[in-house]
Chain A
Amino acid sequence: MPYPTDYKYTKEHEWIKANGNNATIGITHHAQESLGDIVFVDLPKVGTEIISGKTFGSVESVKAVSDLYAPVSGTVTELNPDLATAPEQINKDAHSAWMIKITLKKPAELNSLLSAADYEKFVAEEG
């Protein structure tokens, strides 16, 4: 599965696509594969401030709960409405089943994230 090169990635297996001062966030194909069937997504309300490195919600498979970690800091502007009733969309296509949209608080934080190539390497090494 190729990882979109216009996305950036974290070691916690989130992706972020920046567009000026806005960004869209989801979890990677590798993450959904590890989780198995996703049955529940818990996202913050619109207006919530998320902080880089801190948890902002959770995603659940049948067996387990996994925290979602903010790749960058910002304010939530939109939630993907489909995920409340069809969380399995993430399993079908993790890189288009976005979770939240935010305005960026510190766009410079993007620079310390992984490129697609770095993330693929990281996943391969994780084993």
Chain B
Amino acid sequence: MPAVEATTPAIRRTALHPVHCQMGAKMVEFNGWKMPVEYPSAGGIVAEHNAVRTGVGIFDVSHMGDIRLAGPEALAAVQHISMNDASRLAIGQAQYSALLYPEGTFVDDVVVHRLGEDEYLLVINAGTREKGFNWVRDHTRQFNCAVENLSDDFTQIAIQGPKAVHLLQKLTDADLSAVKFYWVTRGTVCGLKNTLIARTGYTGEDGFEIYVPSDEATSARVWSEILEAGKEFGVVPCGLGARNTLRLEAKLPLYGHEISDTINVWEAGLDRFCKMEKPEFIGRAALERAKAEGLKQTLVGLEMIERGIARDGYRVLDDAGGAIGHVTSGSPAPFLKKNIALAYVPTEFASLGRELKVEIRGQGVRAIVVPTPFYKKPKKT
């Protein structure tokens, strides 16, 4: 199979693009994709964000990449490129992981789904579709396993929030109460047989992601049936703006910000998804060395305690005003009603309660290191 070129493609659109335009969405360019950032008719980012936290919201996430590995050595292939332990996955189970460079830094983060005996689906980021697919294909050649790029085959819709399960149950014959978080099933959804339904998401809430055929007519029909079925739950369409504020409150990393090709697993705080007891995977040796050397910088959560909003790229300062680090993601948090940020700082500044400053338009504005995630969904009692 020829390599997918890693040149800059023209701006791409998802199959739901006409629908977003019809709904009056504000469109932006994100990693080569024309995507909705917010829907004024839904009330905008804050309303969309809070709908997901208290009810249900839906997202077009078709820009994500989908890679299928299938064959007798599919597990061995996944184990080689992924830092988590896929051998723990039962059929129908999924796990968060990452693909690493030999240096122990990130190619991308990924959700690994075990769909069958020898069949795995890797869902990767929009911005790394080509790079990720090429990486997977190039580093699994030695395994008896087919690697397919299915990214264009699916319209992927995320249905997120405490009422997501009630909404989706109206549209499927699959028993969603039997699907635990980070498990998948197949069922008829909106009349489409054998549709993959995953109880996954990027919001810190309960929710699902469904994978339907990517032709425009089917995609538009499914989207509109979801909105119709969700009316009684107050469903709103949500754009990338709310997607970002939701994942930030839940401290979920974003490639190019908290994780990248210059950051290692330990610095990013993703230890629990990295199974060093696996004897081999790309990046393992570098991570072992890095662990022995000790952490120099670490990712912390910041809450602004003086008036001001910390934003991506802003410098973090110590009391004397010296630059010690930088903000990877920063924004108002619509549900928490605070201004929050994630930042890399030297480990000696990383203790909870430590006061730091964020440089905002030339001024040091006070912030405090707080526990993360900033938001955790309430436990069901």
Cβ-defined contact, B245 with A62, below 8 A? yes
| Residue-wise interface mask of A (27-55) relative to B, using a CB-CB cutoff of 8 A (1 in contact, 0 not) | 00000010011011010000000000000
**A interface with B by C-beta (< 8 Å):** 33, 36-37, 39-40, 42, 58, 60-63, 65, 84
Q: How big is the B interface, by class?
A: 10 to 19
Q: Which of B40, B308, B331 contacts A62 (CB 8 A)?
A: B331
Residues of B within 8 A of A84 (CB): 307
Contact call A63/B37, Cβ cutoff below 8 A: yes
In the bound complex, residues from chain B placing their C-beta under 8 Å from that of A39 are 309, 332
Residues of B participating in the A interface, judged by any CB pair closer than 8 Å: 26, 37-38, 40, 44-46, 241, 244-245, 307-309, 311, 331-332, 334, 361
Is there an interface contact between A36 and B361, defined as CB atoms closer than 8 Å?
Answer: no
New A-B contacts (9) at CB < 8 Å, excluding given A36-B26, A37-B46, A62-B332? A33-B40, A40-B307, A42-B361, A58-B361, A60-B309, A62-B45, A62-B245, A63-B37, A65-B311
Nearest CB of B to A54, in Å: 14
For A42, list chain B residues within 8 Å (CB): 361
Contact call A62/B334, Cβ cutoff below 8 A: yes
Give complex CA distance A51, B78 in Å: 61
- Give complex CA distance A40, B365 in Å: 14
> Which chain B residue lies CB-closest to A34?
B26
Alpha-carbon distance between A1 and B307 when the two chains are bound, in angstroms: 32
Chain A to chain B contacts (Cβ below 8 Å), 11 pairs:
A36-B44, A36-B45, A37-B44, A37-B45, A40-B332, A60-B309, A62-B45, A62-B46, A63-B45, A63-B241, A84-B307
**For residue A63, which residues in chain B have a CB less than 8 angstroms away from its CB?**
37, 45, 241, 244, 331
Q: Which residues of B contact A60 (CB under 8 A)?
A: 309
Nearest residue (CB) in B for A88 is: B46
- CA gap between A61 and B46 in the complex, in Å: 10
Instruction: Looking at the assembled complex, report how far the CB atom of A89 sits from the nearest CB atom of chain B, in whole angstroms.
Output: 15
Task: Pick from B40, B244, B361 the residue with the most CB of A within 10 Å.
Answer: B361
| A36 & B309 in contact (Cβ 8 Å cutoff) | no
Give Cα A60 to B310, complex, Å.
Answer: 11
Contact between B309 and A40 (Cβ–Cβ < 8 Å)?
A: yes
Please name all residues of chain A whose beta carbon is closer than 8 Å to the beta carbon of B241 when the two chains form the complex. 36, 62-63
Give bound CA distance, A63 to B308, whole Å.
Answer: 14
B334 nearest CB neighbor, chain A only = A62
**Cα-based distance from A114 to B244 in the complex (angstroms):** 37
What's the Cα separation between A62 and B309 when bound, in Å? 9
Across the interface, name the chain A residue whose C-beta is closest to B363. Answer: A42
Chain A nearest CB from B27 CB (Å) reads: 13
Contacts of B40 in A (CB 8 A): 33, 36
| The 10 A-B residue pairs with the shortest CB-CB distance in the complex, in nearest-first order | A62-B45, A37-B46, A39-B332, A36-B44, A37-B44, A63-B241, A62-B332, A40-B309, A60-B309, A36-B45
Q: How far is the CB of B26 from chain A (nearest CB, A)?
A: 7
Docked pose: A33 CA to B44 CA in angstroms:
10
Which residues of chain A are near B334, meaning CB under 8 Å? 62
Q: Which chain A residues lie closer than 8 Å to B309 at the CB level? A: 39-40, 60, 65
Interchain CA distance A65-B330 in the complex, whole Å: 12
Closest to A62 in B: B45
Q: Quote the shortest CB–CB distance from B364 to chain A (angstroms).
A: 15
A48: min CB distance to chain B, Å: 14
**In the docked arrangement, what's the CA distance between A42 and B363, Å?**
12
- Minimum distance in angstroms from A91 CB to a CB of chain B: 9
Inter-subunit contact A36/B311 (CB<8 Å) = no
Bound together, the chains give a CA A39 to CA B331 distance in angstroms of 10
Specify which chain B residues have a CB less than 8 angstroms from the CB of A40 in the assembled complex. Answer: 307-309, 332
Contacts of A62 in B (CB 8 A): 45-46, 241, 245, 331-332, 334
Bound complex: CA A65 to CA B311 (Å): 9
Are A36 and B38 neighbours in the complex by a CB distance under 8 Å?
Answer: yes
